[in-house]
Structure 1
């Protein structure tokens, strides 16, 4: 029995197929099935005291081919297209191909307190970094009241 289902890794909790029935982390499903979308784009999501930081591995993708959007005020959408591999020449033949090409899209529901109007994205060495600042957590003001009597 294989532990790998139709291209999805059962050990990868970020795989969209892994959470087909449940959605505990608020990951939103990809585009409609009629639009083939690569789901093997790897994303790391780190929460710091000041921001949510997403790091996306996009080797071979130029920054013009990637897109970062916020939908419905709380859904971060990272999408784009990885160029197809070049065709083999007249005297050449592909022997092994692992790098995928085509459209990709990953969607993440952001937790309350994310400042979606201040999202910042950079691309360096094939890694897209998206930073979503967080609202400051206000500490309750405590005022001592003198007890008379």
Structure 2
């Protein structure tokens, strides 16, 4: 179902056209001082280069897959975590992404359990997952792209 970004819950799987390619993304929200900022994180196909929060206008129409994003992190490696890795610490598991280029911050950490955007999660890292995959809860990314094409 297509609807404005501000109507889509944070943490949902969405499909959006990024640079001419239908891309499965993770919809995020960050509470600002006066309003809510809306972001997408490209999951499939993964972007070339750094995994980055992409700002999206709250009124922009996006395909909402109406399901949560689920991560599979089958293996862990050693610290340090690079951009695009999932890191594990005492607080939880976090996807490390580059901030929106307009931000003055370098990195954001997305809590895999809640979808919350957090800061400074690189202390006490106990594991790093570099070869993760993501899907919509109950749907493969291929299923989501087919749904998008039919919408």
Q: TM-score range by the shorter chain?
A: under 0.3
Larger radius of gyration: 1
More helix, by proportion: 2
TM-score (norm 2): 0.27
TM-score (norm 1): 0.27
More strand, by proportion: 2
